[in-house]
Amino acid sequence: MLKLRLSRGGTKKRPVYKVVVADSRFARDGRFIEKVGFFNPLLPKEKKERVGLEAERIKYWLGQGAQPTTRVARILGENELMPMPANGNNPKKAVPKKERKKEGGETTAAPAAAEASKDAPAATEAPKDAPAAA
């Protein structure tokens, strides 16, 4: 399967990426079929030197069935070479799993629990005349 993906270059802590067409079985920085662009994440977003893409070649490879990775799809979407992918953010990811389960469980059972709690005190209260059970 063909992929449009990033291949890392540059030095330690100073990455520069090539946008390449590669077989998905090849190593990330290994063999590739064609270089179709570059991406420098260290430059500000306003600079045009941050991203360079060969639009005609990318359209050709997309037509041949190459699938972009999520990062490359966002880069292509920002440069209007393909539709912008849906945002895959998970806002609850930072919340610990136990708390996520508590929040999820309370939202569905909250109305039923509220009704049960209203009935419960009347049913569980002992009459005031009766002696307290010890």
Counted domains in the chain: 2
Quote the domain boundaries for residue 118.
90-124
Please check whether residues 58 and 100 belong to one and the same domain. Answer: no
pLDDT value of position 97:
83
DSSP code of 66? P
Please check whether residues 45 and 67 belong to one and the same domain. Answer: yes
Please check whether residues 47 and 68 belong to one and the same domain. Answer: yes
**Residue at 131 is within a domain:** no
pLDDT in tens, 34-92: 999 999 999 999 999 999 999 999 999 999 999 999 999 999 999 999 888 887 777 77
pLDDT value of position 93:
79
At 72, list the tokens. 């490359």
pTM (2 d.p.) = 0.64
Q: What are the CA-CA distances from residue 104 to residues 99, 110, 114 (Å)?
A: 9, 10, 16
pLDDT value of position 85:
85
Please check whether residues 42 and 14 belong to one and the same domain. Answer: yes
d(CA 16, CA 9): 5
**Residue at 83 is within a domain:** no
**Residue at 84 is within a domain:** no
**CATH number reported for the structural domain that contains residue 37 in this entry:** 3.30.1320.10
Please check whether residues 56 and 94 belong to one and the same domain. Answer: no
pLDDT value of position 65:
94
Q: What are phi and psi of 111, to 5 degrees?
A: -65, -40
Between 104 and 15, the more confident residue is 15
pLDDT in tens, 82-118: 888 887 777 777 888 888 777 765 544 445 445 555 5
